[in-house]
Amino acid sequence: MNGMERTLVFLKPDCIRRALVGDILGRFEKRGFSIVGLKMVELSEKFVREHYAAHEGKHFYEPLVAYTTSSPVIAMVLEGKNAVRVVREMMGETFGSESSPGTIRGDYALSDRYNLIHGSDSPEAASEEIGRFFNDEELFEVQPETVSWIYDMTGEEPV
């Protein structure tokens, strides 16, 4: 849909184990995002190492791999205006202890390691990550009548 952006989000093992999935999904839906892909998956160590390859060699890399592979995750593709930026703002800072109240991590996380959620950090990364987690048959289009209740669609771009 014109003017819309997609981003990848996955809810990490601590989110699932703490039964926060519904609360966090609800935040995205209430904000107006459309969920165009959703699944629960167990990520292999190889997959996680490739996904977080930019952090290889950093002190937190091995614990991050172990944490992310310890339990299934829930992967989703969200669609909306400025999805990457808005989702990252909703998530809060990387470390729960540094996140402001009102953000997902600010409301639900204190740990600097168990931080509940991953979100793409750029439109380019979102495109790559969506392709890594989902195939085309697992992604769906948003119905225009739904979008018209979230945005003013009278022009060329959603407002």
Active site residues: 118
What one-character-per-residue DSSP string does the chain give? Answer: -TT-EEEEEEE-HHHHHTT-HHHHHHHHHHHT-EEEEEEEEPPPHHHHHHHTGGGTTSTTHHHHHHHHTSS-EEEEEEEETTHHHHHHHHH--SSGGGPPBTBHHHHH---SS---EEE-SSHHHHHHHHHHH--GGG--PPPHHHHTTTS--SSSS--
